[in-house]
Amino acid sequence: MGLRGKCALITGSTGGLGRIVAEHFASEGCNVVLNGVVPESDMTVAIAGLEKTHGIKACYDPTDLRKPEEIAAMMRRAFAAFGAVDILVNNAVVRHFSPVDKFPVERWDEALAVNISAVFHTIRLALPSMRERGWGRIINVASPYSFFAIANRIDYVRQRPLYLVSRARSHSRRRGRHYMQRRCAGDFAYTFY
């Protein structure tokens, strides 16, 4: 079974790794929902390019991942446009560079919202449909910081990698009859449903 006609929603996909992932899924025939914080007008050329190059449908959703109600609305829009979110890639992340004793509380709260809570909310909203259809993939992206730390990176280094790796390990033990493949490598923590 190929990916043609399926839908991949990739958070944090206006550039970098997220954009590469979106391009890959589009090249496999997957419709894609890109997400990020740039204005919609900045993404029109990219969306048109994906559609023309790969013969798929693509859209951009500038949802603020700090807000659960906006995440829910993004997921509803994706379901309305494509019928399902077959592949969810949690790639979005915010980072702030500061020693812990000077780290602004509001930046810590923002990092918790985007780096951890948004992952929870997208999975929570995508998983029931994947179970119902008997097919779906969830890919949670972390980084090599899952295994080592670096100075002044307290929000990302302590939050996202630990959460995602422990979540992957936890889910791999609790999936019951649902197949789960888990990989925790240096570059990514993958969780497949």
Strands 137-140, 87-90: pairing kind: parallel
Nearest-10 Cα torsion for 174, 91, 60, 126: 10
156 given a catalytic annotation: yes
Q: What are the angstrom distances between the C-alpha of 33 and each of 21, 60, 74, 104, 191?
A: 11, 6, 9, 32, 19
Q: Which helix (H) or strand (E) segment is 10 a member of?
A: strand 7-10
Task: Write down the catalytic residue from 60, 145, 156, 163.
Answer: 156
Collapsed DSSP state (helix, strand, coil) of residue 26 = helix
Active site residues: 156
